[in-house]
Structure 1
Amino acid sequence: MLVSMDQCAAFLAAAVLITLSPGPDNLMVISLGMSRGRAQGTAFGLGCALGCLSHTLLAALGVSALIAASPAAFGALKLCGGGYLVWLGIQALRHRGSVGAAQTQSLSGAADSVARFFAKGALVNAINPKVVIFFLSFLPQFVDAGRGQVAAQTAVLGGLFTAQACVIFGLLGYFSGAFGQWLGRHARAGVWLHRVSGVIFLGLGARLLLLP
């Protein structure tokens, strides 16, 4: 197997919690589902999730190229990625606001079709430079260089991330009305989701920085 069961389990646990934590993508999915309807919210969410495939390709090519060119460069990437994840964790732990509706005016034209919402979701994710940086920081730490086929491992992990994001974003889009109302009644839930994701980021970053 390219990726062990232990790798998959650890990766999926972190990926699901990170995907569930409040962020621009899932808040836009919820907001669009509430304002435009289930079909549009679900389509936008699936587009956002599938947009991760472009970042997976970049990560797979970049990480494999670094391994082939210089193990030291790969180590430097992991250290930089660890520092970035620690920074994300600190930012998440410092977050004190409640979860609010995302700004969607530029995304929700009255005549937009479901297909157009899907395309917009994919484009919003694909051109987001922060997602590129996140993938380059997050995926490599679950890659076992000793197993070889680094690019294939990265691609498999990216595919797993995309699959779980499709499920979560699709469900958020479909149930966005009820979910958005629940978040509105439980403002502290958003804060605790940020704290959980912050601890995860800090743990992953520390793992990259401290382990050889």
Structure 2
Amino acid sequence: MINIVTFVIMSFFLVILPGPDNVILTRNTLREGRKGGLRTILGICLALLVHTLIAIIGLSAIIASSAYLFSIFKFVGATYLIYLGVRAFLSVRDNKLKAPALSESCQAADENFFRQGFLTDLLNPKVAVFFLTFLPQFVEPHVHSFVPFLLLGFIYTALTFLYSLFFILLIDQISGFMQKQSTQKVIQGVSGAVLVGFGLKLAFEKAPA
């Protein structure tokens, strides 16, 4: 038996906690509107489903129990977040370009939005460990089927999708102000600092005991 109600309530509060996903989602929505935000959401949700499957087949347990594998996964994820942060800093300089060139730059970047959302989540070992430790708490101990875990993973992914969709629609509503060049420079600079900060935090994260 699955404690669905408790799981949904707990998952909702975990989903709305700020993290790298929110930063990427905000940045991409402001750069390309709803389309950019939606592509990022789809990437994030696909990564969550992959983490669900990884937890089910036990690879997350290996990552969580092996300090060596955890460190490899951690540093790859941290490097990617820092890379995105540096790109955000560089885009502050790009904002000095004329509007047509900036539009062309955003159009080219649009192709990467799905990949950014996907890799940001997939390369975060904390997400893998989270699924490994969080999901079993809501399934009865005697249940040995993978179906309840798969269902919980889908529910968590659906909640993430719905909240993220609301989030990008809200951002899109105030995009007129947010798309001003001066505002963009501040957003890109802050996004870059936050992403680099998350990357450094992840790099120094200790492996679970």
Common fold: TM-score over 0.5: yes
State the secondary structure of the residue aligned to 1:196: helix
**For each residue in 1:83-123, what CA deviation from the matched residue of structure 2 results, as whole angstroms up to 9, or x when unmatched?**
2233245446656435445634479xxxxxxxxxxxxx8x9
Q: 1:141 aligns with which of 129, 141, 158?
A: 129
Identify if the C-alpha distance between structure 1 residues 5 and 86 changes in structure 2 by more than 3 Å, giving closer, same or farther: farther
Residue 64 of structure 1, CA deviation: 1.6
In structure 2, the residue matched to 1:85 is 77
User: Does residue 45 of structure 1 match 2:37?
Assistant: yes
Q: 1:191 aligns with which of 185, 189, 192?
A: 189
Q: Distance in 1 between matches of 2:174 and 2:14?
A: 27
State the secondary structure of the residue aligned to 1:97: helix
Identify if the C-alpha distance between structure 1 residues 46 and 84 changes in structure 2 by more than 3 Å, giving closer, same or farther: same
Which amino acid is the alignment partner of residue 77 of structure 2?
Answer: L
> Is there any run of 5+ residues in structure 1 with no aligned partner, and where?
33-40, 108-120
In structure 1, the residue matched to 2:30 is 30
Q: Distance in 2 between matches of 1:80 and 1:13?
A: 26
Q: Distance in 2 between matches of 1:9 and 1:175?
A: 24
Q: Distance in 1 between matches of 2:74 and 2:112?
A: 25
**For each residue in 1:1-20, what CA deviation from the matched residue of structure 2 results, as whole angstroms up to 9, or x when unmatched?**
464866754553234xx244
Q: Verify the 8 A CA contact 1:86 1:201 in the aligned structure 2.
A: yes
In structure 2, the residue matched to 1:97 is 90
**For each residue in 1:29-85, what CA deviation from the matched residue of structure 2 results, as whole angstroms up to 9, or x when unmatched?**
4344xxxxxxxx435534542454333322221332135xx8335545644332223
In structure 1, the residue matched to 2:98 is none
Normalising by structure 1, we get a TM-score of 0.59
Q: Distance in 2 between matches of 1:197 and 1:97?
A: 13
Residue 180 of structure 1, CA deviation: 0.6
Identify if the C-alpha distance between structure 1 residues 158 and 180 changes in structure 2 by more than 3 Å, giving closer, same or farther: same
State the secondary structure of the residue aligned to 1:210: coil
Name the % identity. Answer: 12
In structure 2, the residue matched to 1:71 is 61
Q: Distance in 1 between matches of 2:207 and 2:56?
A: 22
Q: Distance in 2 between matches of 1:44 and 1:153?
A: 27
Q: Verify the 8 A CA contact 2:28 2:40 in the aligned structure 1.
A: no
In structure 1, the residue matched to 2:208 is 211
CA RMSD of aligned residues (A): 3.9
Give aligned pairs, total: 180
